[in-house]
Amino acid sequence: MKKIVILFSGNGSNLENIAKKLHGKVEVAAAITNNPQAYGIQRAKRLGIPIEIIDHREFPSRESFDEVLVQTIKQYNPDLVVMAGFMRILSPIFTKNIKNAINIHPSLLPLFKGAKAIEKSYASDMKVAGVTVHWVNDELDGGKIIDQACFHREDESLEEFAAKIHELEYNLYPRVIANLLDISLQKASLSQEV
């Protein structure tokens, strides 16, 4: 079975969604977080996913954190590294060593890079909004786009807008992962329903 490692920093709803939708088709070899308080740790525990906590505050520099992160990822030899709400700016130590990492960003890149993308996208006068899955390179949210999904805006509140964005993420990200790993997601979801 193909293996992925998921990197996260907070809530972990994408982590849980990916693990459930790809259950039986992809092995989530580990979930790695830089935040010992991340709620996603509870989710990973419930799902029986091995957890690695690497607290970035214990490292003197971005590079020294990234070195340990890279070593930890390599131990699992994943086919794909999946970033899902991993709130760290990566140094070249990471991007030179890990070439098979993807990220999801809650905007239609190249618009609204960086933090607070949902708020920035909501505040804009764009009539469509959406999410992007892209390869990770050394430019923040700047790697090659793999796929996107969008919706036409109505008169949503910020909360409703954010909920639509997350729904798009939950639909798109497992599909992209399945495609990249050459796995049939239809079969994956059918096997869950049985």
Contacts to ligand GRF by CB under 6 A:
8, 10-15, 40, 84-85, 104-106, 169
**What SS3 class is residue 81?**
strand
Considering the complex, what minimum distance in angstroms separates the CB of residue 173 from ligand GRF? 8
Token pair listed for 120: 């920035």
Min. distance of Cβ 60 from ligand GRF in angstroms? 26
Q: How would you label 102-116 residue by residue, b for 16+ Cβ within 10 Å and e otherwise?
A: bbbbbbbbebbeeee
CA distance 56 to 140: 18
Give the nearest distance from C-beta 25 to ligand GRF in angstroms.
Answer: 20
CA dist 127 and 54 (Å) reads: 40
Comparing every residue's Cβ against ligand GRF, the nearest one is 85
Question: Which is catalytic among the residues 105, 134, 152, 166?
Answer: 105
CA atoms within 13 A of residue 35's CA, in its CB half-sphere? 16
* Catalytic residue list contains 166: no
Amino acid at residue number 116: K
Q: Kindly tell me which of 67 and 145 has the beta carbon lying closer to ligand GRF.
A: 145
Question: What minimum distance in Å lies between the beta carbon of 79 and ligand GRF?
Answer: 21
Judged by beta carbon, residue 114 or residue 190, the one nearer ligand GRF is 114
Return the exposure string of 69-80: e unless at least 16 CB atoms fall within 10 Å of the residue's CB, then b. Answer: bbeebeebebbb
Q: Which is nearer to ligand GRF, 67 or 147 (CB)?
A: 147
Task: Indicate which residues carry an active-site annotation.
Answer: 105
